[in-house]
Each structure stands twice: as structure tokens, then as C-alpha cells.
Amino acid sequence: MTFATELPTWTALLIAALVLLGAGLAFTGSLGLLRFNRFYERVHAPTLATTLGAGCVLIASMIFFSVLQTRPVVHEILIAIFLTLTTPVTLMLLVRAALFRDRVENKPCNEVETCAVPAAKNRPRSGRLAPSQAEPMKPLTHHPDHGDKRDHR
């Protein structure tokens, strides 16, 4: 059995800094979830925790166990790979569900900067809303990012 007190000082400091940085980033992400007002802005915030936040903690874990066990411990890489592959799926599902709802409710654009998407105007507006049949990445028809100030909390 090995203990954390056996760590050399410089490693302990480095690991502590990385863990704190990772935790800080995850906290900032959660704070963003609270501070942002619109749904489409909110989904951006938690990415902090799943990218650099998780990365820092995983690197700290790799250093910690590699030094303690005096052999390379790198299976944390798998966690990083699976995080990168799976988070986008969840985020995209959430955003598309939100878009779908906005489109069904046919909400008017009330914020110029968020709905100025020229190319979207000549696309068909209906008939392609079903949550995907054949294609892996289904085209979206238009984007109403607007007025999401109400109840997304």
C-alpha cells in the first residue's frame, strides 16, 4: 500500500494545482449554467467541465498514480476519449430538442442578432421535423434562437 505522504513535494504541488484548476473550471462551468439567460447559451457552459476541467483532473490522476506506483499509469486516457465522444451526443440532442420545440411553437424572432441567418430563409420550413429517419446527421431547416428568456431553469 502506498500513501500520498510519500509523494515528493514538487509532484504534490503540481498535482494539487492541476486538481484545483480542474475543479475551478468545473465550478465555473456550473456557474455559467446559472448566469446565462438563454438555453442556447447555457449549453455552452458545462463544456468547460468536460474538456479542460476533466483534462486537468485526469492528468493529475495520471501523475499521482504513476509516481506512487513508479510505473506509467495511463488508462485515464480512456476516460478522456469516451468523454470527448459522448458529450457532443448529449449536447446535440438537447439543442435539437430545444430547436424542435421552438419551431413547433413558432416563436417570433425578437432579437435581431440571434436570428440573422440569411441562408436559412430559403430553406423549407416544415415537413422535415421528425427527429431523424435515415440520415445520421439530419438537416435542420431553420433556426429560431430567440426569446428563450423564459423558463429554462
Partner 1 sequence: MSRGLPFPLLSAGLLAMWLLLNQTVAIGHILLGTVLALGIPWSMRAARPSKTQLRRPGAIIRLFLVALVDITRSNVAVAWIILRPGQRRGTSGFVDIPLELRNPYGLAMLACIITSTPGTLWVGFDSNTGVVTVHILDLIDERTWFDIIKGRYERLLLEIFE
Which residues here bind partner 1, judged by CB under 8 A? 25, 28-29, 31-32, 35-38, 40-41, 43-45, 47-48, 50-53, 73-75, 77-78, 84-85, 87-88, 91-92, 95-96, 99, 111, 113-120, 123, 135-140, 143, 145
As measured in angstroms, the least distance from the Cβ of 3 to partner 1 is: 20
Least distance to partner 1, CB of residue 77, Å: 7
DSSP structure string for 108-128: PP--HHHH--GGGTTS--SS-
| Nearest to partner 1 of 5, 133 (CB atom) | 133
**Angle at 41 (CA atoms; ends 31, 152), nearest 5 degrees:** 80
Q: Which is nearer to partner 1, 13 or 92 (CB)?
A: 92
Minimum Å gap between C-beta 26 and partner 1 is: 11
Closest CB to partner 1 among residues 9, 131? 131
| Distance of closest approach, residue 27 Cβ to partner 1, in angstroms | 10
**Nearer Cβ to partner 1, position 7 or 40?**
40
Q: How many CB atoms lie within 10 A of CB 39?
A: 21
Q: Measuring CA to CA, how many Å separate 11 from each of 21, 61, 75, 111?
A: 15, 11, 19, 51
Nearer of residues 25 and 57 to partner 1, judged by Cβ:
25
CB of 11 to partner 1, least distance (A): 20
Residue 69 has, within 13 A of its CA and on its CB side, a CA count of 10
Rounded Cα distance, 60 and 55, in Å: 9
Contact 96, 140 (CB under 8 A): yes
